[in-house]
Every structure is written in C-alpha cells, then in structure tokens.
Amino acid sequence: MQPLVICTIDGVLSDNSDRLHLMKEGSFIEYNERHERDDAIIASVRMLKGFQRTGCDILIVDDRPAEYKEQTEAWLKEQGVFFDYLYLPKPKEMGRYFKMKAVKEHLRENGGQIIAVLCTERQDEHDFRNHPHRPTVYSISRGAV
C-alpha cells in the first residue's frame, strides 16, 4: 500500500495567528480572505518535504471553503509545499466531519496507508489517533493560542 501523510493547513503549514481573532469575532469571510498573508511554518513544511522524499503521497485537507482553492494552491506553491491531493469543503460539506469524510473517500477511491498526520485541532488529533491505520499524529502548536 502507498504510504500517505495527511496534513492540515491553518496552524500547521500556515501561521494563522494574526487572523485567529477574526474567527473568534465571527468574521469568517475576512478570516478566509486573509490567508494569503500568512507566513509558512517552516518546520512543518520541511517535515512534509521529508515525508515526500521517502515516497509518501501528501494529502492536504482543511476547513477552508473550496472557493479559496486556487488561492490556497498558489499559496502552497509559493511556500514550496508540494502535495498530491488537496481537499477543501464545498458549502454543503462544511462542518465537523469533513476532514475524516474526505480522507475516508480518498482511501476508498485510491487506497493507501496513513502513516502520519500533521494537525493542530484537538478533534482532528483525536479522530486520527483512533483511525484504524493507527498513524503517528503530530500535533502542531506555536506558543500560546
């Protein structure tokens, strides 16, 4: 089976700390529109590149709306993040279970063995730690949140 690494974007590959207050204030549109200004978290980008060099497929999944897919792809490319798959939710897919559902559908269609997950949200960490593949889960945090 092809080894697969799952990675989220906000808080893992991108330092979204300068716009987190927008989400807390309920300004979701502005929060999403300002992602292009985020700096990359270099340690996470390097870790992902290491997995890729060993032959792993890289699957990026995040809660960013699909309408920002082109901007997200451009930001990832600009930061030197290479990936095989990118899943972002359409409006009707948004919600708590999108990431796990997207990964489950990917595995059904493409196969693979999840060996590692890079995430920042506790719920993602919990979900992937309990996944049948039992991947290593790297929970990323940057100082006080």
Number of Cβ within 10 Å of residue 47's Cβ equals: 19
pLDDT in tens, 47-83: 999 999 999 999 999 998 899 999 999 999 999 999 9
Residue 79 burial (C-beta neighbours within 10 Å; 0-12, 13-18, 19+): middle
Query: If you average pLDDT over every residue of the chain, what do you get?
Result: 89
pTM (global) more than 0.85: yes
Domains defined along the chain, listed by start: 3-139 (3.40.50.1000)
Mean pLDDT of 119-132: 94
pLDDT in tens, 14-29: 987 777 666 677 666 6
Query: Between these two residues, 26 and 40, which has the higher pLDDT value?
Result: 40
